[in-house]
């Protein structure tokens, strides 16, 4: 019986600290994305945005910010319509700024609801990954 206890006690040691930390962070981020997606869904019937002077409507598109602590990333309808490059200040409710840069092509992809993933500037000793869908 003591062999069984020793064996079961040693099994968790097979996972290194680095692996455990990585898996824990990924699990927490998965929860954040679900929470952000759930909170940011203000559209009950979203419409596909148009570019330029089309007849449809263009809406602001919010991104999900990894390891978020108050940052808000939004590409505005005006930026999507202008179809140019954009630098977004994602400070939001955080106590420090970060900037995300999008090329004109990326702004167009965001407007078409295609996934765009970008990394913010490093401020306050860290950076964030912002995902637009």
Task: Determine contact, residues 61/75, Cβ cutoff 8 Å.
Answer: yes
Distance CA 62, CA 73 (A): 6
Is the four-CA dihedral 75, 81, 82, 83 of positive or negative sign? positive
Q: Which pairing describes strands 129-132 and 61-65: parallel, antiparallel, or unpaired? A: antiparallel
pTM over 0.85: no
**100 has which bridge partners?**
88
Of residues 7 and 98, more confidence is placed in 98
pLDDT in tens, 60-73: 999 999 999 999 99
pLDDT at 21: 78
Give the mean pLDDT of the chain: 76
- Among residues 77, 131, 133, 84, the alpha carbon closest in space to that of 107 is found at 84
Sheet with 73-75: strands ordered across: 73-75, 61-65, 129-132, 116-119
Of residues 89 and 15, more confidence is placed in 89
Residue 53 in this model has a pLDDT that exceeds 70: no
């Amino acid at each position: 019986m003591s062999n069984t206890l020793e064996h079961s006690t040693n099994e968790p040691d097979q996972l290194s600290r680095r692996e455990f930390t990585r898996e824990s962070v990924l699990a927490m981020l998965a929860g954040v994305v679900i929470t952000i997606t759930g909170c940011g869904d203000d559209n009950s019937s979203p419409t596909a945005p148009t570019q330029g002077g089309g007849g449809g409507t263009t809406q602001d598109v919010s991104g999900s910010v990894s390891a978020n602590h108050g940052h808000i990333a939004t590409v505005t309808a005006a930026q999507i319509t202008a179809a140019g490059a954009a630098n977004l200040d994602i400070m939001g409710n955080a106590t420090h700024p970060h900037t995300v840069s999008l090329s004109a092509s990326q702004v167009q992809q965001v407007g078409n609801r295609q996934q765009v993933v970008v990394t913010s500037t490093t401020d306050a000793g860290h950076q964030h990954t912002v995902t637009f869908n």
